Structure 1
Amino acid sequence: MNPLTTVSELRNALDAQHPPTLIDVRWSLGGPPGIEAYRAGHLPGAVFADLDTDLAGPPGAGGRHPLPDMADFEAAMRRLGVCAGHPVVCYDQRDSVVAARLWWMLRYCGHSEVRVLDGGYEAWMRAGLPVRTGMQEAARPGDFRAEPGALPVVSAEEAAAIARGGFLLDARAGERYRGEVEPVDPVAGHIPGAVSAPSIDNVDTEGYFRSPARLRERFTALGIDQDAEVAAYCGSGVTAAHEVLALHMAGFRAGLYVGSWSDWVRDPAREVAVGG
């Protein structure tokens, strides 16, 4: 199944007798809460999911955005109207980074009928389509059941092993990978052996994903082939989900190191590399 949907496809789906469950997951690092953007304007019928409380557990031993308790995630998705076997479409502001986190989590928990709106809220606005303001609750509670394990997750130790014998992709900006800047975490640098592959290169200047063929070219240029063991990480496991989605589109199966750099640097015994 194509993990993306276009504005045109979504518009038609929302007019159908049984429209998909539509979830707004806008969020920005250091910016105003996503709920403010949602209240100011959202796609008709969309409900709001919060990255920090619905799609992640409390910051701590697992990093800044660890996986939530599965019972809590299940309850959040049911509150938003997610039902087994019923399509879900999620979107964020433009480049699908946070939407990819929800795509990954639902897929990880066994819900296969989930797509990301390519280009996000900005693509909808560029099409001149209507929006709604204020809050909206799901029409009825869902019956989603979280059954984790459908997608691969890797630990810090497994990530280190993949960096030595496979391809561990660092989805952060290049300057963070090289250790030139670190705006969030207490230590700068990258996991030794990891390859820099910023997620921003998965999309074009308007936030649309590049074609599967272009993405495949991108990843094969890094040396990845069909037999390679691949995983991705970022700062806190959000941007890395975008990388996993792009790899999926390109035909590669990849694990996600959910704790990512914010988990890696909690242990001072773990090595840190800097430079290119």
Structure 2
Amino acid sequence: MNAIISATELASELAGPTPPVLLDVRWQLSVAKAAGEPPFDGRAEYEAGHLPGAVYVDLDRELASVPGERGRHPLPGMAEFGTAMRRAGVSSAVPVVVYDGGQGWAAARAWWLLRWTGHPEVRVLDGGLPAWQGPLETTVPVPAEGDFQPVPGAVDMLDAEGAAALARSGVLLDARAGERYRGEVEPIDPVGGHIPGAVSAPTNENVAPDGRFLAADELRARFKTLGVSEDGPEVGVYCGSGVSAAHEVLALAVAGIPAALYVGSWSEWSADPSRPVAVGPDPQ
């Protein structure tokens, strides 16, 4: 199954006999705003115009639980996640397509969670909302209740200990910006730097300027330079809080390479002062 779908392909499927369930997951990372600048409101953006039939899903409230020792976006409770997905009309036998405002991080988080909990067919709209050339609507749909029951563990996931071990035995990719990896700047978490042994692999290098993923062969070539290949060692990915790393896991899936997500990511790792921290451009 393809991990992504083009806007043209999606329009065709929506017009067909078995259209996919559409989830709108518009979201932005919460950082300090300029004085007087309102915070981003994904639901307001959704209500101003969304793909026909799409249901809004709140990343902070439905795709994550309360921030704490497990990071800024720890896994949601499975009962709460299942309720949110069924409310959105998600059923196990119906394909799901997820999109966001174009960055792809939030959509990838929903994609990964649905895959991890056992949904057999979920894809991300390549390029997000900006790639869509069809009509938008402002009516908020009320879909029929879905039947999806999340069962965790369908794909690999890492905890802190697993991430540290994989950095030694396989390839652990750090999806954050290079300056955060090197420890030159850290705008959110308490400590700058990276997990010892991790390789810098900013997720924005997986996409073209329009936000669409590079072709699969281009992605394979990029990951090969980082020590990752289809027949190579096991791969894991982390970021700040497990959101942009999901986008890199998605890029790896497009390239045909399975990878595990460290959900807690740097926000969990750096919260424990006993864990080692590396700085500078080298993994160690």
Q: Could you tell me the TM-score, scaled by structure 2's length?
A: 0.93
Which of 190, 194, 212 is the equivalent residue of 2:194?
Answer: 190
Q: Residue in 2 aligned with 1:16?
A: 16
Shift of 1:51: 0.4
Which of 106, 127, 145 is the equivalent residue of 2:114?
Answer: 106
Which amino acid in 2 is paired with 1:19?
P
Q: Residue in 2 aligned with 1:3?
A: 3
Q: Residue in 1 aligned with 2:276?
A: 271
Alignment pair present for 1:170 and 2:178: no
Shift of 1:95: 2.9
Shift of 1:137: 3.4
Shift of 1:112: 1.6
Contact 1:247 1:253 in 2 (8 A): yes
Shift of 1:17: 2.8
Aligned length: 272
Which amino acid in 1 is paired with 2:104?
S
Q: Residue in 2 aligned with 1:235?
A: 240
Alignment pair present for 1:248 and 2:253: yes
Shift of 1:18: 2.6
Contact 1:25 1:92 in 2 (8 A): yes
In 2, the alpha carbon distance for the partners of 1:111 and 1:56 equals 18
Q: Residue in 1 aligned with 2:53?
A: 45
Deviations 1:4-54 (A, max 9, x none): 111111111111233110000010112412112111111111100000011
Match of 1:256, SS state, is strand
Shift of 1:195: 0.3
Q: Residue in 2 aligned with 1:60?
A: 68
Worse-superposed segment, 244-253 or 188-197: 244-253
Match of 2:173, SS state, is strand
In 1, the alpha carbon distance for the partners of 2:227 and 2:12 equals 40
- Trace 1:19-168 onto structure 2 (pairs within 5 A): 19-30=19-30, 31-124=39-132, 127=133, 129-133=134-138, 136-168=140-172
Alignment pair present for 1:257 and 2:265: no
Match of 2:157, SS state, is coil
Alignment pair present for 1:223 and 2:224: no
Match of 1:23, SS state, is strand
List alignment gaps of at least 5 residues for structure 1: none
Contact 1:95 1:203 in 2 (8 A): no
Q: Residue in 2 aligned with 1:214?
A: 218
Match of 2:158, SS state, is coil
Contact 2:206 2:214 in 1 (8 A): yes
Shift of 1:227: 3.1
Match of 1:168, SS state, is strand
Contact 2:171 2:235 in 1 (8 A): yes
Shift of 1:165: 1.8
Seq. identity, %: 58
Match of 2:109, SS state, is helix
Which amino acid in 2 is paired with 1:14?
L
